[in-house]
């Protein structure tokens, strides 16, 4: 089954047109992916720090220690 109409790939690939979508956007997609990845980790770090601060306050509060 071929999605671009080629039944035989034993051809000169220089003559083949686009074989996957969004050709030419590899650098842009990589930059967007890295920015998303860094943003995700920054958000996770910030949210987990808030949760840890909240939990540490409840653990170190003398009123809640049994």
pTM: 0.61
d(CA 59, CA 15): 68
Tell me how far the alpha carbon of residue 47 is from its chain's centroid: 18
Strand (E) or helix (H) holding 50: helix 26-60
41 vs 10, more confident: 41
Give the model confidence (pLDDT) of 22-64 as tens digits: 888 999 999 999 999 999 999 999 999 999 998 888 777 777 7
At residue 43, what are phi and psi to the nearest 5 degrees?
Answer: -65, -45
Give the confidence band of 66 by pLDDT, cuts at 50, 70, 90: low
């Amino acid at each position: 089954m071929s999605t671009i109409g080629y039944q035989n790939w034993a051809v000169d690939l220089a003559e083949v047109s686009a074989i996957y979508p969004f050709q030419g956007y590899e650098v842009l997609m990589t930059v967007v992916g890295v920015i998303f990845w860094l943003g995700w980790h920054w958000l996770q770090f910030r949210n987990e720090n808030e949760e840890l601060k909240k939990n540490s306050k409840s653990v170190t509060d003398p009123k809640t220690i049994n």
